[in-house]
Amino acid sequence: MTKAQERRKAVEQAIQEHKAKKNKYIIAAVFWFLSSLYIYSNDAGFSDVYSLKPFVYFIVGPVFASIVFGNIMFFMQKIIEKGVIGFFGKNSQNLVLPVISFVFFCALVGMFIIIFKFAELLQTII
């Protein structure tokens, strides 16, 4: 590979990482918001007028989830990518993208469940 091709590949990788970093916050906040809406709709005492629960769940919660769970998702994505690429190597490159997509989707489902359980735990504490 020439130096121009290497630089182009490095720039493309940097653009992809920037997009992933930006999207991690959005995904974590959406997961938190969906979990909070479900809990909010099912708990009779949750929506009291003078309660701090809605404020914590809908204002503080998405910010906290974006920072904590968003970073966890970003690093999980990097680990999955490196692990799958390292496992398949150069032998079967056509399988790398579908396997990464499948494993990352399963990891996102798991992350949603973790965020939901964390929101339920927070509900019992508050």
Residue-wise pLDDT tens digits, 66-125: 888 888 888 888 898 888 888 887 777 788 888 888 999 999 899 899 988 888 888 777
pTM of the model: 0.74
CA dist 16 and 8 (Å) reads 12
Q: Is 89 left (phi over 0), alpha (psi -120 to 50) or beta?
A: left
